[in-house]
Every structure is written in structure tokens, then in C-alpha cells.
Amino acid sequence: MLPSLGFNEIVILGILALVVVGPKDLPLLFRKLGQWTAKLRGMAQEFRTGFDELARQAELDELKREVDALRRTTSLQEIRSEITKPLATLEDYAGIKSQPAIPAPAVTAPVEAPVEPPAGEIGVEPDVEKVADEAVAPVARSAP
């Protein structure tokens, strides 16, 4: 860890550089110092990028091993049995025993019996109006 430089230390280093190097060559010194700093930062970034790439590659290798292990241990029958399991209901999640549902009674429409011709008239079609009048009960109306 590098020690931190305060304002006082930077001023002292500037005065020392001005005395040692001289005012004529001081800008050239700062330019070279800046280039070296840029090179060091570039190398540090390259190292960091390489290290991140190695870590990413290691993670990918680990994932490949896990997928291969899953492929070897999991069969299609196990997957099919998991998929075909009945879904849980809210009662199952709540821990309540669900009561079996009572089926509603089946409602069927009344079946009308076929109209048969009177005895002795086989092959003769019945009078439709007469049969309809017999099947329908008269409607009683109240007076207004």
C-alpha cells in the first residue's frame, strides 16, 4: 500500500524537482512520468482483464461439469414422472385436508313418448292437430 501524499508533501516534491531538474527540463520530466503512469495502468488493466477471463473460464468449466453430471444421473422417465404429477392445490399449500367433491345430480330432460296411432288404424298417420291438442293442457286465465 502506498502512503498517501498530502498537499504539503506534493509542494515539497515539486520544489525539489525544480531545484534538481531545473525549470527547462521539468515539463519533459512530467511528460515522461505521465507516460510511465499510463503504461503501469495499462498493464494493471490487462492483468485484471486476464484474471477475470480465467475466473470466467473456471466458472464455465464448473457449469459444464454440473450439466454433464445432471445428464448422467437424470433419465427421461424421472422427468416424465415429475411432469405428470398432479398439481398441488391451495389446500395442499395451506395444509388443509380437502374433502372429496360431491358430484351434482345429473339433470335429464323428460323424454316424450312417441305418439302411436289408435288401434285398428295401423299405417294411417294420426291427425297432428288432434294429437297436439291432447298433449297440451288448457291454460286457465283469471279475469281482469
- Do 65 and 59 contact (CB within 8 A), yes or no? no
| pLDDT at site 87 | 75
Contact yes or no for 17/26 (Cβ under 8 A): yes
**pLDDT at residue 11 greater than cutoff 70:** yes
C-alpha cell at 87: 398439481
Whether 49 has a pLDDT exceeding 90, the answer reads yes
- Rounded to two decimals, the pTM is 0.37
The pLDDT of residue 130 is above 80: no
Q: What is residue 34's predicted lDDT score, i.e. its pLDDT?
A: 93
Which residues neighbour 22 within 8 Å (Cβ) at sequence distance 6 or greater? none
- What's the pLDDT score for residue 139? 57
Tell me which residue of 121, 117, 111, 119 sits closest to 131, measured CA to CA: 117
Average of per-residue pLDDT across 107-114:
62
pLDDT surpasses 60 at 136: no
Q: Is the pLDDT of residue 101 over 70?
A: no
